Structure 1
Amino acid sequence: MSELFDFGKNILEQQPFSVLLGTELRAFEPGKAELALAVRGELKQQHGFVHGGVVSYLADNALTYAGGSVLGDSVTSEYKINYLRPALGQTLLARATVISAGKKQAVCQCQVVAINDGEERVVAVAQGTITRIG
């Protein structure tokens, strides 16, 4: 494991909401981050899909991880998400990359996929601006 990946895991473990949901850091390197979440009943809405708020959380956090990988300690200053289809599957995976970065902010994009029996389907896309703190 890289030093950056270990740092990222430590940050995730300090986020009580991420711990509550059971979020897992799968990849973290300069300009890229992947976060995964096992789907369970408590994360679904009344139609049996993963709740949009959970999908949005995962995209937001992955965007901030990607931006933070090049900026340092960062927060999301804005983001937009498009839900493409219901999130159905055993696992959600958010893959985020940096599109452009300066000294104080980065613009990042993210795809959230639902994995069902090894097959991936994109369920949402997001784009956001990540801002360095300090």
Structure 2
Amino acid sequence: MDSLPDPLAQIRAINQTAAFNRWCGIEVISAEPGKVEIAMAWRPEVGQYAGFLHAGLIGALIDTACGFAAATVAGRVLASHFSVNCLRPATGERFVARARVVKPGKSQVFTACELYAQAAGAEKLVATGETLLSVVAGPVA
């Protein structure tokens, strides 16, 4: 599979086209073939009733990071299945998702991700996830 010529620029461009990602404040930190790191700052409107990052946002960060990692090797993709394991309450100043391609294919891409909460210079693993993405015909963005 051909990788994109400039994965970071391409993934940042894709990220900017998604209104949801802009609302969340998701930023693309790094992207290379098969690997992506994204981040989102904490703000009260992304929390749940007890003040933790909402599980829906945990899933969204994992899904987004995995989709972006897959896009670096396969182009346009669409999630067909994903799973999330919440390991501890997600509290922090910033959340960082690091995703990688586990196995690329012509029609499917398997990915995995770890989500970390950062606060006071420390980082804790708060969730993990896996995504199966279908390759979709057509240009990336």
Same fold by TM-score, threshold 0.5 exceeded? yes
For residues 1-134 of structure 1, the aligned pairs below 5 Å read 3-134=6-137
List runs of 5+ in structure 1 lacking aligned partners. none
Q: 1:3: Cα distance to partner?
A: 2.2
Runs of 4+ in structure 1 over 3 Å off: none
Aligned-partner residue type, residue 70 of structure 1? V
TM-score, structure 1 length as denominator? 0.96
Letter in 1 for 2:129: A
CA displacement 1:5-53 (0-9 Å, x = unmatched): 1111111000000001110001111010111000011111111101111
Cα RMSD, aligned residues only: 1.0
TM-score (norm 2): 0.91
Aligned pair count reads 133
Equivalents in 1 of 2:7, 2:65: separation in Å?
15
